[in-house]
Amino acid sequence: MLTAAPPRHLDILMCPPTHFAVEYAINPWMNTAVPVDVARAEQQWEELRATYQRLGHDVRVVEPVPGLPDMVFAANAGVVYDGRVLVSRFTHAERQGESAAYAAWFEAAGYREVRTATVRNEGEGDVLTVGRVMLAAAGTRTTREAHAELAAFFGVPVIGLELVDPRFYHLDTALMVLDEQTVAYYPGAFSAASRAAIEQLFPGAIHATEEDACGFGLNAMSDGVHVVMSDRAPRLAERLQERGYEPIGVDMSELVKAGGSAKCCTLELRA
C-alpha cells in the first residue's frame, strides 16, 4: 500500500513535437503509411506539460531541431543523475543527431559534467532510476556493455534486465517506477530471469496485462502519488487506484504512432 509520504517534486525536460512525423519505421509501432496529425500531437503534448505543471512540477523545454522528428521523445536524450549527464548514443542513424542537440542544451544549462555514452545507450528509455539504484535493460537498443558504463560514470548499482518482446523495445514501455518500493510491469516483456529479479527486488509488484501494456499504460511518470499515464490502459489505472495511487489519464494517441507516450516525452532531471 502507498504510504502517506507527499508527492516527490519532479524537474522535467520536454521537447515540443514541432517537427514530429513518422518518416521511417524503427520500432514495431511505426507505420509510415499512417498519417500523423501534427497539430493534434502538439495539443496532446501541451496537455501533458500542463498536467505536470498543475501537479507542481517544473518543466523545462528544449528547442526542437528540424530533421529530428523523434526528438519529442526526450526520455531518450540521456540519463541525468546527481547533476551529471550521460548523453545517449542512439542505435539508429535516424536519431543519432539528437545526441548533439541534447548535449548542447545540457552544457548551456550549466550541468557540471556532460559526456556522451561510448556504447549504445538510449537514456531513460532503457534506464530507470529507483532511489539510488538504476534498472537498465538490454535489448534491441541499449547494450549490456552500457550497464557497466552507467555504473562507472554515476557510481551507483545498475541492475540489468533483459527485454524479449520486440513490441517493448525500451524498458520504459514495459515497466514503470511508482516509488522507491514499487514498480508496475508487463511480465511477458521480460526473460524469466529478469521477471524473477523484478519480483525479488519489488515484492508486490503490480502486473499489467498485455492489453494495458500495448496501450502504453506503463509508459508513465509517477511522483509517488500521481501517475500521469496513457488513457488507454483502464485496467492498469484501476490496479493503481486499488494500491492507493492517483492515475491521471492523458491522450497521447498521436505520439503513440511513433511508439511513445507520456514517459517517452519526459526526461527527469535528477539533481
Residues acting as catalytic residues? 170, 264
Distance CA 148, CA 41 (A): 36
E strands along the chain, which residues?
11-14, 58-61, 78-81, 84-87, 113-116, 127-130, 133-138, 158-162, 175-177, 183-185, 206-207, 221-222, 226-230, 246-250, 267-268
Residue 54, C-alpha cell as written in the block: 498543475
Contact 14, 49 (CB under 8 A): yes
Q: Would you state the cell numbers that stand for residue 122, as one nine-digit string?
A: 538510449
Q: How far is CA 235 from CA 9, 133, 231, in A?
A: 27, 29, 10
* Structural contact between residues 137 and 170, judged by C-beta atoms closer than 8 angstroms: yes
* Type of residue at 150: L
Neighbours of 108 (CB within 10 A): 10
